[in-house]
Amino acid sequence: MSSTHEVAVGRPAPPSGAWLHGVVRDVDPVVLEAITGLDGGPVRGVSAAGLVAVVSAAPLDEYGEEPLRRHLEDLAWLERAARAHHGVVEALARRGPVVPARLATVHTDDSLVAGSLVECAAELLATLDRLTGRAEWGVKGYLVPGVVARSGGSEGAGGVGTAYLRRRRAQLTAHEEGRQAASAAADAVHTALGELAVASRRHAPQDRRLSGASTAMVLNGAYLVDRPALPGFTELVAALGDRHPGLRLELTGPWPAYSFVAERREPAHAGESQ
């Protein structure tokens, strides 16, 4: 007599797709075995056109088009997936240039991964050449309260209410002047750093809830820096912080070059979900 449990045990495993983390020129399979990918499993390589796509196994009952669409609306699931994805990309970047894949790029089988490499080989190789010997560094600039002098002046005549209104107007004016001065300083910092970097990008400032900072962010810059130029770049960040006391500058990195990889869709192969 059979049971539901026995039928379930006898089912074949669901077909597995491939979650793409990034593309490199070459990588030792032994190195890949030491990198933890999605759901705690090891990553592996799919080779074609002189390139290697680094992927995690992605069972299609969880990572197929429909279940993946539902998962992407689950912030806790999305955070775990993004952390695992970034961990793989970061591990690859420590060993050489990598073209990071867009989060949640899933192919239904390895032949589609290989086809994507063949179709985009020229673009991928050119990007890897451009990233060789370079890394992305971030510089964030936060407002420093109280640096811009506030307007003084006597309260004058008119009583307590009038004096309060004058003080309040002076506070608002000082606040706006401070923001304008910080914005100008952020522009100057970004320009100066961009002149030393190979390439630069200015992203939208992060909300305080995301940045975790107590004051507003006015600069969120990314800079592609040649490794030999890094000491000079670091010194310039410190010098610019001294030159612009209204900003607190924070240098972060090195990061995989997310900001300097062209945004592109994977070729639309049949049976692929993204």
The total of other beta-carbon atoms located within 10 Å of residue 253's CB is: 15
**Last residue of a domain, which of 132, 164, 181?**
132
Tokens matching residue 211: 């940045």
pLDDT of residue 167: 63
Domain-located, residue 142: yes
**Last residue of a domain, which of 117, 132, 147?**
132
Domain residues for the domain of 162 are: 135-259
- Mention every residue, 6+ apart, whose C-beta is less than 8 A from residue 258: 100, 136, 222
- Per the DSSP assignment, residues forming a β-bridge with 222 are 138, 201
pLDDT of residue 206: 86
CATH number of the domain at 253, please. 3.30.70
**Inter-residue contact 254 to 89 (CB < 8 Å):** no
Mark residue 200 as left, alpha or beta (left: phi above 0; alpha: psi -120 to 50; beta: remaining): beta
Determine the 3-state secondary structure of 246 from DSSP: coil
**Last residue of a domain, which of 132, 151, 185?**
132
pLDDT of residue 270: 32
pLDDT of residue 140: 96
Domain-located, residue 7: no
Looking at the structure, do residues 29 and 106 belong to the same domain, yes or no?
yes
Domain-located, residue 267: no
pLDDT of residue 62: 87
- Residue 197 to residue 199: CA distance in whole angstroms: 5
pLDDT of residue 177: 59
In the chain, the number of structural domains is: 2
pLDDT of residue 208: 77
Looking at the structure, do residues 140 and 248 belong to the same domain, yes or no?
yes
Q: Mean pLDDT per 10-residue run, the chain (274 residues)?
A: 42 76 95 93 95 96 89 91 96 95 93 96 96 96 72 49 62 60 92 97 86 86 97 98 94 95 52 43
